[in-house]
Structure 1
Amino acid sequence: MAESGGSEQDGHDMVFADASLAQRYITFRPQPPQALVQRVTQHWKAGLKGQLPEKSVLVDVGCGSGQSCHQFAEHFDTVVGVDISPDQLQQGRERYKHLLNVSFVEGSAEDLPFAASSVDVITVCAAAHWFQLQNFYRQVDGVLRPGGVLAVYSYWNAYPIYNSICLRDTIMQVWEGLGFWPQQHQHLRTGYTALPAAYADDVYVSAAEGGFEVSHPSDLAGLLGYCSSWSALLKYQQKHGEEALQDYLKQAKQQLQKAMGTTEENPSITLRFRYFMRMWRKPLVL
């Protein structure tokens, strides 16, 4: 991201190309709620004033293993996920091969492999803060059709619940204790409010007001698995080794058990994620 710096290769943190991280992503990361998917789709359609394209195209940039883009398959004729990680893309191809209108291609946010004015909607889930934004916006402006929409959305960590006890503060202590979070994560802390605008037509939906919450049953092992998908934890492992990583996860488990007031090995919990979103529309008449 041009505004934040701290990138490793062409503005990207290549830790996401790690094969083991790709597996943890598809196993433990959440999928955006249907309410968010519908909001994006409705916002795009509303701006076209009934003039829908014959064949609609959605591109999900930084798609990872496809947790977000596959949900748009029923709303668009063609859905394409783009990512720099071959391992992440392969995970997506295998999991969503039954969706015949969804495909995955290797590429970067700053060099989108699409023709000019060929895309209706561009989505970015939990990845925009990693991009070189001004370069990305230029690419977006080139490939979006007039009236097209750029929607970026994410969540700011989990809200684990155990017997009505919210473990949010504890999971944030585990998060902060790593010390490997780059400056880009400030955009997550502020709910994307500080991202520069791509277009003047700018809609913001906060985590508090949007109703974009997903919740699913899990357990302590699942919560720790989610923690293991953090890019900072992989960096911690690369610097300190596997033994140090396991020690950190063991300490995290003990912190969480203490907060829950239980010594149970793997208690059931509920995992909640609250999404925020910004949407920009390319002018319909240029």
Structure 2
Amino acid sequence: MSVASSHNHDSLQKNTTERYFEDKLVAQNYAIYRPPYPDSVFIASVNFLNSNATNEANKFPFAVDVGCGTGHQSTVPLAKYFDSVLGVDISKEQISEAEKSKHPENVNFKVSAGESLPVEDETVSLLQAATAAHWMNLDKFYKEADRVLTPGGVIALFSYSSGFQTLDHHHSAEINAILEEMEDRPYKRGFYAAGNCKLKRRYTDNCFLIPYTDTVRLNNIPQPVTATVEGFLGFYSNQSPFRRMKEAEPDLTAKWMEDVTTRLLNTLETTGMSSEFTYNLEVHMLLGRKPHQPK
């Protein structure tokens, strides 16, 4: 990996306390550009929860979404499966945006770290973290999960992959080469923090192993996203590695972004930032069930 002269990759790796999503503009862009997850992800969690349920209920009492962001991506979709849903995030700005958003009455939001949740013991049926687990202290999180989960309750950790692939375009190969360049640039220039590297490895590090015997890993869940060119670039440029790169190398990054945007538009055979195209993000998912009996 090459390293930008003004940035040190090792220091990024060691900085586990930096908060990447506190900025108000970042939170607003998160709400605008971050794509929601496919229903299949939430159905997988509920099906796993149902597969060993001790009752015949089709709806469970309480779910908590850790690192909920602005809410629409992963918290609100749980509302139809649970009587009550709580979204928590360590960022006050993210929670502020979530509270302002349109959401069902059974969904609430609070500022909280995932390692210290504002809920009672053994009250949570589903504890999920969507594209958030790689920022947490997982040893502490798993201890907290064991405290709050009901017997038979489920942990669900999932995230989209770090790569983009176009779907059904006659210039897919050329477009994908540009998208791969965009994905690789912050990594190759040394702007990936430890959490970003864990995400890039798709939660295969041992630290992600859920400490229960009943666990499942699901790979390559399709997450097709149709977005305008502007929307895609907004999503891309709001990710933390790009923001670090832009901050450290503003002129170089601006020039490169202008060039890569022009090439992307040309390859898509359009001049309009409002033109749409479809790309795919694959979701990887870890599920684990707390035992019904004490360990």
Structure-2 change in CA distance of 1:150 and 1:169 (3 Å): farther
CA deviation after TM superposition for structure 1 residue 201, in Å: 1.2
Q: Aligned letter for 1:221?
A: E
How many residue pairs align between the two structures? 274
RMSD over aligned CA atoms reads: 2.4
- Counterpart secondary structure, 2:37: coil
- Counterpart secondary structure, 1:164: coil
- Map of 1:222 onto structure 2: 231
Q: TM-score, normalised by structure 1?
A: 0.87
> Is the CA contact 1:159–1:273 (under 8 Å) kept in the aligned structure 2?
yes
CA deviation after TM superposition for structure 1 residue 175, in Å: 2.2
Structure-2 change in CA distance of 1:117 and 1:49 (3 Å): closer
- 2:197 is aligned, of 149, 166, 186, to 186
- 2:271 is aligned, of 254, 261, 264, to 264
Show the 5 A alignment for 1:29-178: 29-50=34-55, 52=57, 56-66=61-71, 67-97=73-103, 99-157=104-162, 158-161=164-167, 163-166=169-172, 167-178=175-186
Structure-2 change in CA distance of 1:52 and 1:161 (3 Å): closer
Matched, 1:206 2:213: no
The CA deviation string for residues 129-152 of structure 1, in whole angstroms up to 9 with x for no partner, is: 111111111111111111000001
The CA deviation string for residues 2-33 of structure 1, in whole angstroms up to 9 with x for no partner, is: xxx8364xx44312111111111111111111
Q: Aligned letter for 1:230?
A: Q
The CA deviation string for residues 34-76 of structure 1, in whole angstroms up to 9 with x for no partner, is: 1111111111122113265996110000111111010010110
- Counterpart secondary structure, 1:141: helix
Q: Aligned letter for 1:127?
A: A
CA distance in 2, matches of 1:89, 1:55: 24
Q: Aligned letter for 1:23?
A: Q
> Is the CA contact 1:13–1:130 (under 8 Å) kept in the aligned structure 2?
no
Unpaired segments ≥5 residues, structure 1: none
> Is the CA contact 1:148–1:282 (under 8 Å) kept in the aligned structure 2?
yes
Q: TM-score, normalised by structure 2?
A: 0.84
Question: What is the percentage of aligned positions where both structures have the same residue?
Answer: 26
Greater Cα shift, 142-151 or 157-166: 157-166
> Is the CA contact 2:225–2:281 (under 8 Å) kept in the aligned structure 1?
no
CA deviation after TM superposition for structure 1 residue 155, in Å: 0.8
CA distance in 1, matches of 2:114, 2:13: 16
> Is the CA contact 1:223–1:271 (under 8 Å) kept in the aligned structure 2?
no
Structure-2 change in CA distance of 1:105 and 1:7 (3 Å): farther
Q: Aligned letter for 1:145?
A: T
- Counterpart secondary structure, 1:135: helix
- Counterpart secondary structure, 1:48: coil
- Counterpart secondary structure, 1:78: strand
- Counterpart secondary structure, 2:40: helix
- Map of 2:243 onto structure 1: 234
